């Protein structure tokens, strides 16, 4: 598994991949960043691995340094409900930063071979006490990313029809995990993922994608969607 993290023989982090600018570490000096990183352990994660299980004690705090993943919950009747997606530089397991022991509220899985940094709960509590800006960053991320995503998703579920919900989800995923290519924005996402995320049936997703492909807005490939004209997607919905 390729990894761009700079890791010592003791599995301690010396540096994160070049070009990665995590919001979690913003506002810290280089020496402070080095101090925070030195308290972390490096984790290599295989695709389709579940890293966090909902309702488990929140004992680890993570930052993804490569790859991508997502949060999800399992309902009482066994349904898998997808939540927001994760890309390199984003944090998860935030419940571990709380002063009172708590449990994880959702599961977290990686969908590609990935790497992450992991801090124990006590280490993270000590770092937050030493560098209060870390807590400010976590709260800012929670409000502007997690709560903002949850709000937009709730509004879409409450006000959009099936086509609209799928369209909004595709636009959100394009921003989160899309890769710019010559022909458009490419996403590795399955019909089942879209159905679960938009609370519609796989048949409805297939019909939506077929309609948008005929209109030239996107192209469906095996396990991937190429969004050619994102500006037309919501209008077409």
Residue ranges of the domains in the chain?
6-152, 160-236
Q: What's the rounded Cα separation, in Å, for the pair 2 and 210?
A: 36
pTM of the predicted model as reported, rounded to 2 decimal places: 0.83
Determine whether domain 6-152 maps to CATH 2.60.120.10.
Answer: yes
CA-closest candidate to residue 25, choices 51, 63, 52, 58: 63
Strand bridging mode 114-120 / 50-52: unpaired
In this prediction, residue 237 carries a pLDDT of 63
In this prediction, residue 236 carries a pLDDT of 65
In this prediction, residue 56 carries a pLDDT of 97
E strands, 97-202, where?
107-110, 114-120, 179-181, 184-188
In the CATH scheme, what architecture does the domain 160-236 have? Orthogonal Bundle (1.10)
Token representation of residue 218: 């996107």
- Low-confidence stretches of the chain (pLDDT < 70) are 1-2, 236-237
Q: What's the rounded Cα separation, in Å, for the pair 6 and 14?
A: 5
CA-closest candidate to residue 84, choices 9, 168, 28, 161: 168
Q: Residues near 2 by Cβ (< 8 Å), separated by ≥ 6?
A: none
Q: Please give the distance of CA 231 from its chain centroid, rounded to a whole number.
A: 23
What sign does the CA torsion over 166, 172, 173, 175 have? positive
């Amino acid at each position: 598994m390729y990894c761009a993290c700079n890791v010592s023989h003791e599995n301690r982090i010396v540096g994160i991949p070049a070009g990665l600018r995590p919001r979690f570490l913003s506002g810290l000096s280089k020496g402070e960043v080095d101090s925070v990183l030195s308290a972390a352990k490096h984790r290599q994660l295989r695709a389709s691995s579940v890293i966090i299980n909902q309702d488990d004690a929140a004992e680890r705090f993570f930052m993804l340094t490569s790859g991508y993943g997502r949060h999800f919950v399992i309902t009482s009747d066994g349904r898998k409900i997808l939540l927001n997606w994760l890309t390199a530089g984003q944090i998860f397991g935030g419940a571990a930063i709380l002063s009172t022991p708590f449990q994880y509220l959702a599961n977290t899985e990686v969908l590609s071979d990935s790497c992450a940094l992991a801090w124990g709960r006590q280490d993270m509590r000590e770092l937050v006490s030493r560098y209060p800006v870390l807590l400010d960053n976590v709260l800012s991320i929670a409000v502007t990313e997690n709560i903002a995503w949850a709000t937009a998703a709730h509004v879409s579920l409450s006000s959009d029809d099936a086509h609209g919900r799928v369209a909004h989800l595709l636009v959100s995923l394009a921003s989160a995990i899309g890769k710019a290519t010559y022909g458009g924005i490419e996403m590795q996402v399955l019909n089942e993922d879209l159905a679960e995320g938009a609370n519609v049936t796989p048949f409805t997703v297939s019909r939506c994608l077929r309609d948008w492909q005929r209109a030239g807005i996107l192209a469906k490939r095996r396990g991937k969607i190429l969004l050619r004209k994102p500006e037309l997607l919501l209008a077409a919905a």
